[in-house]
Structure 1
Amino acid sequence: MSTISKNSLKSSLLQLECHFTWTLLKQDVDLDDLEETIGDQIEFLIKSNITNYNLLSYVCHLKNSNEEALRNLKKAEEEIQKNHPNEIARRSLVTWGNYAWIYYHMERYEEAQNYVSKVENSCKKLSSTAQRKIQLPEIYAEQGWALLKFGRKYYERAENCFENALKNEPNNPEFNAGYAIAMYRLEAFSHRKCEDTRSSLQPLKRAVELNPKDTFIMALLALKLQDEKQVDEGERYIEEAMQKTPDLPYFLRYAAKFYRRKEVDKALEILKKALAVTPKSVFLHHQLGLCYRAKLFQLKKTKRYQPQEQVAELIRLSIFHFKIVTDQKTKFFSAHTDLANMYAQEKRYEEAEETFQKAFQINILCYDDKQELYYHYANFQRFHMKSESEAIRYYTKGLKIGKESHGRNMCRKALKKLLEQRIQGGLGDATDFGTLGLIHNLNGEKHEAIECYEKAIALCPDNEEYLSALCELRLSISS
């Protein structure tokens, strides 16, 4: 193939609407885990699997398995023929776009060009203006589902995709479900302040209303109601869903999460039932670990003299399940901190340190993950390794990532308390005063911050960081 025609093919490919042009980056996701998740959904979720097969083909390509990718696209085509026999061209645009890209990567340029032409011809028939790009609601939705699977960095884009899909079909149950899930996850991870207009509660209710058979959405609605302190109403949805799909793992995992926050033994019962159906599910193992940990903390809180055998058994079970998760899903950050903290409970400090270090190596951490990780590691250094200097160093690292989050707030509170204790005990050095000055400044307490920086400079007169912070603070007060 000549360079000119190869370049024109590449520019045509870039115009297509499909997984290859939606900027889904493999470094943002654990590909093995994603492949397993999609496989489970194909097996257990009772709905059309076109979207899942298309995404699975892209994942296979990212794992350098193009032949497998083509097999999944063939399955997507079979699903389209079965479920949408009268709309084959319209429903196949993403699948054909993926075919074109995979053949291009396999250097089978003629076949790639054939699929580009199929997309172009179909788009011309479907719209008088379109050549290769056409903004169909189902394409927006398919992009939204793919973005949701690629993790939290993508949730805002997913929400926008479902919003666009809903503009054309406001009563479509699938689009409403996608929009509600995107909003729910954004709330959980971004800590955004949810005014009533932006809360996921109404979208979740709407999605359940449009598709009362979707027990997965019912479970999310129940969890949201639980967050809003409407526990009884939430439980009614869980019980109703339990009648409809008593064996569906995707529902059971969230039902268990609901009960973990209400009645741990019932949660354990549900999780064991779900685990019998999907024994490899890292989500279920993680939830089991959290349940045993909750029972441990309950025991420590309620009984002055804890039966050591019971304590040891709950720690053992927590470690067992968290370890399965970290072995299978090496980028699951919170499972690493959970496991490390459990090792620390059992005074297995080397293994705790090793697990924390693995967590620091995870390359898909968002800023609030990092802040939370610094907080947990600082606690480990402070309470288990008895190193206040290391604790201060890591709390400060979390604090210096300049975005607000729950993790940053915890770092700030713990650090302030620790520094004040040191200063009151006569142990405070220039760094302690300087760091306390930073905290006061972040809290908007400028006069207290000035006082701390002055004390830091008295102990360390040439420190440029303290001098510059003090100068800025004085200017901000006088201006």
Structure 2
Amino acid sequence: IEKTREALEAALRQLRCTFTWQLFKEGRDNGRSLEEKVTDSIGFLCFQSKASGYNLLAYVKCLKGEYQEALSYLKQAEELTQLEHPDQAEIRNLVTWGNYAWLYYHMGQLEDAQAYLDKVAETCRRFASPYRMDCPEMDCEEGWARLKCGKLQAERSKACFERALEDEPDNMELRVGLAISAYCEDVGRSQRRPFTELLRQTIELNPDNFYLKALLALKLQKMNDKTSGEKVMEEVLGRAQAPEVFWVAAIFYRNQGELEKAVELFKKVLDFQPANATLYHQIGCCYRSLAHQLLYKEKQGLLRYPGLPEKVTELREQALESMEKAVELKGCFLNMHTDLAAMYAMLGHSEKAEAIFQKLFRSEQLTDKERQLLYQSYGNFQDYFQGQEEDAIQYYIEGLKIQEDPTKAEKMKSRLQAIAKKQLSQDPASLQGWRLRGFLAKLNGDKELALKCYERALGSRLQHSASGPSWGWSGEARRQKPPGPPTSWVGEFL
């Protein structure tokens, strides 16, 4: 039996299917987090090639050990392939049949696995290949599978569509896939890039693809062509009533600061996906930002009315309710939990916020990027809500030791700079103030300035050794510090 299993696995590894494309980094995500990240991606939201989406979900369900759900998704993928591509169903279903073979292999049903492997082989042999085929249809299937995994696979997805287009340059499905993969690869870049023209050209050939038009509006917005972006998005919403379009439009209006409209659109998507944690979290963030908008306008003298505090509290409570729902639905993203903790703190429930943070610190599955966010968030909690500036400093420093997210790092550095400036304005000989300035100078690569600042700090310590602050963790941080030993700043950074 073992030899049979080994031989079967060797044959399975030759297949072109979701199980062999190495779509995710091993050990980075568990099955639950993969499912949520996949279904919320721009590529997955695209209505085209839904069969690829079901194949991908079947793979994720298999990783979670939910085999019956995986079988159900494969059945839907097979049926959809027949509907979407009746003339190419036999070739395109090679992916689904290969997935069936792998799934049954993992279930220990080796005869069923062999039956599907034979089914693949029978089709491939007709095209002079034992277990795999290299053709535009298979490149297209792989392209959609990678695209629906999110932006980390966008470059390889784009390469699949480009390769297929070499043989079928007029294939509209391939053009659409290429345009969306190029968009996903381009996410975060604000300048005009060749991809924008590719998107426009694809829309000209396929003018009723409102999803592509919504992505174009979003890209125009990021390029600071907001007027054109608004015009395109208004046209899209006037003609399309699809959840994937509503989702992109909600992001568009959220970015514009039109938060009430964003909430309305996110809620429209909820009608189609009522158990989506990300949607609830996005709605919560919009309510939180609406409260911030009101407070900012009041501070600037742009808004005055007696019921403002009550309205702000109402919006924050709505934000809390939505964020609680996101976590209740097992939302996998760390910021769902840190945002919920911050909202508890904002509404005066510090003990609930503390409990969330301590649970997160005990997690052994956090990536470096997630740990950096956790240190920053807990530092903010100590800083703004607990009044524990010394403890906040220590958590910011721990976060800055992790070089993952430059934006978060700059925010922590900015806060430490503000704390140092305040402390030195209150006491020019402040030990803590000079230590912070030395630490920040070192981070910025100015060793000479760092040395001078640390010398001033050591001088202050000698003068105030009897009453000066501790060099290690203090207060609550000493009792409930994150993993890793506290260190002397001078010893570590000089």
- What residue in structure 2 maps to residue 132 of structure 1? 131
The AA in structure 1 aligned to 2:111 is E
- What residue in structure 1 maps to residue 20 of structure 2? 21
Given candidates 203, 210, 226, the residue that maps to 1:208 is: 203
Post-superposition offset of 1:61: 2.0
Is 1:457–1:467's contact at 8 Å kept on the other side of the alignment? no
The AA in structure 1 aligned to 2:138 is I
Is 1:29–1:364's contact at 8 Å kept on the other side of the alignment? no
Is 1:97–1:119's contact at 8 Å kept on the other side of the alignment? yes
The AA in structure 2 aligned to 1:212 is P
Post-superposition offset of 1:431: 7.0
- What residue in structure 1 maps to residue 111 of structure 2? 110
Name whichever of 341-350 and 135-144 sits farther off.
Answer: 135-144
- What residue in structure 1 maps to residue 261 of structure 2? 266
Match status 1:9 vs 2:11: no
Post-superposition offset of 1:405: 1.9
Is 1:19–1:58's contact at 8 Å kept on the other side of the alignment? yes
Is 1:35–1:59's contact at 8 Å kept on the other side of the alignment? no
The correspondence of residues 54-73 of structure 1 with structure 2, limited to 5 A, is 54-73=55-74
Post-superposition offset of 1:347: 1.6
Match status 1:248 vs 2:242: yes
- What residue in structure 2 maps to residue 280 of structure 1? 275
Post-superposition offset of 1:274: 3.6
The correspondence of residues 139-150 of structure 1 with structure 2, limited to 5 A, is 139-150=138-149
Post-superposition offset of 1:460: 8.0
For the residues of structure 2 that align with 1:208 and 1:453, how far apart are their CA atoms?
60
- What residue in structure 2 maps to residue 329 of structure 1? 330
**SS of 2:96's equivalent?**
helix
Post-superposition offset of 1:319: 0.7
Q: 1:288 to 1:194 in 2, by over 3 A?
A: closer
Normalised to the residue count of structure 1, the TM-score between the two structures is 0.82
How far does the alpha carbon of each residue in 1:164-216 deviate from its partner, in whole angstroms, 9 at most, with x for none? 4455445544444444444544554xx6x66654x753444344334333322
Post-superposition offset of 1:364: 6.6
Post-superposition offset of 1:367: 4.2
The AA in structure 2 aligned to 1:119 is V
- What residue in structure 2 maps to residue 345 of structure 1? 346
For the residues of structure 2 that align with 1:35 and 1:412, how far apart are their CA atoms?
32
- What residue in structure 2 maps to residue 84 of structure 1? 85
The correspondence of residues 280-319 of structure 1 with structure 2, limited to 5 A, is 280-303=275-298, 307-319=308-320
Post-superposition offset of 1:381: 0.8
For the residues of structure 2 that align with 1:133 and 1:90, how far apart are their CA atoms?
10
The correspondence of residues 163-174 of structure 1 with structure 2, limited to 5 A, is 163-169=162-168, 172-174=171-173
Name whichever of 159-168 and 408-417 sits farther off.
Answer: 159-168
Post-superposition offset of 1:228: 1.5
**SS of 1:78's equivalent?**
helix
Q: 1:149 to 1:381 in 2, by over 3 A?
A: farther
Post-superposition offset of 1:407: 1.0
How far does the alpha carbon of each residue in 1:379-415 deviate from its partner, in whole angstroms, 9 at most, with x for none? 2111111111221112112211124521111112212
Post-superposition offset of 1:432: 5.9
Which has the larger helix fraction? 1
* Percent identity of equivalent pairs: 36
Q: 1:292 to 1:20 in 2, by over 3 A?
A: same
Is 2:276–2:329's contact at 8 Å kept on the other side of the alignment? no
Q: 1:9 to 1:277 in 2, by over 3 A?
A: closer
For the residues of structure 1 that align with 2:104 and 2:218, how far apart are their CA atoms?
44
Post-superposition offset of 1:344: 1.9
- What residue in structure 2 maps to residue 477 of structure 1? none
Is 1:28–1:150's contact at 8 Å kept on the other side of the alignment? no
How far does the alpha carbon of each residue in 1:331-386 deviate from its partner, in whole angstroms, 9 at most, with x for none? 12222232222222212111222333455566775544443333232121111111
Post-superposition offset of 1:66: 2.6
For the residues of structure 2 that align with 1:347 and 1:8, how far apart are their CA atoms?
62
- What residue in structure 2 maps to residue 122 of structure 1? 123
Q: 1:125 to 1:78 in 2, by over 3 A?
A: same
The correspondence of residues 181-260 of structure 1 with structure 2, limited to 5 A, is 181-188=180-187, 196-197=192-193, 201-245=196-240, 247-260=241-254
Name whichever of 63-72 and 427-436 sits farther off.
Answer: 427-436
For the residues of structure 1 that align with 2:176 and 2:363, how far apart are their CA atoms?
31
The AA in structure 2 aligned to 1:73 is L
Is 2:140–2:164's contact at 8 Å kept on the other side of the alignment? yes
For the residues of structure 1 that align with 2:292 and 2:40, how far apart are their CA atoms?
36
- What residue in structure 2 maps to residue 474 of structure 1? none
Q: 1:276 to 1:194 in 2, by over 3 A?
A: closer
**SS of 1:135's equivalent?**
coil
The AA in structure 2 aligned to 1:65 is E
Q: 1:433 to 1:294 in 2, by over 3 A?
A: same
Is 1:30–1:331's contact at 8 Å kept on the other side of the alignment? no
Q: 1:35 to 1:253 in 2, by over 3 A?
A: closer
Q: 1:94 to 1:427 in 2, by over 3 A?
A: farther
Is 1:331–1:364's contact at 8 Å kept on the other side of the alignment? no
Q: 1:165 to 1:388 in 2, by over 3 A?
A: farther
Is 2:47–2:244's contact at 8 Å kept on the other side of the alignment? no
Post-superposition offset of 1:156: 4.9
How far does the alpha carbon of each residue in 1:221-270 deviate from its partner, in whole angstroms, 9 at most, with x for none? 2122112111111112211211221x312211221222232423333333
Name whichever of 385-394 and 274-283 sits farther off.
Answer: 274-283
For the residues of structure 1 that align with 2:207 and 2:176, how far apart are their CA atoms?
11
Segments of structure 2 that go 5 or more residues without pairing to the other structure are 463-486
Is 1:101–1:112's contact at 8 Å kept on the other side of the alignment? yes
Q: 1:468 to 1:327 in 2, by over 3 A?
A: closer
For the residues of structure 2 that align with 1:316 and 1:402, how far apart are their CA atoms?
34
Normalised to the residue count of structure 2, the TM-score between the two structures is 0.80
Q: 1:406 to 1:39 in 2, by over 3 A?
A: closer
For the residues of structure 1 that align with 2:358 and 2:146, how far apart are their CA atoms?
29
For the residues of structure 2 that align with 1:168 and 1:114, how far apart are their CA atoms?
32
Post-superposition offset of 1:97: 1.1
For the residues of structure 2 that align with 1:177 and 1:114, how far apart are their CA atoms?
35
For the residues of structure 1 that align with 2:67 and 2:5, how far apart are their CA atoms?
20
Post-superposition offset of 1:22: 2.5
Q: 1:62 to 1:387 in 2, by over 3 A?
A: same
**SS of 2:218's equivalent?**
helix
Q: CA RMSD in A?
A: 3.7
Q: 1:208 to 1:373 in 2, by over 3 A?
A: farther
**What is the number of residues matched between the two proteins?**
461
The AA in structure 1 aligned to 2:226 is V
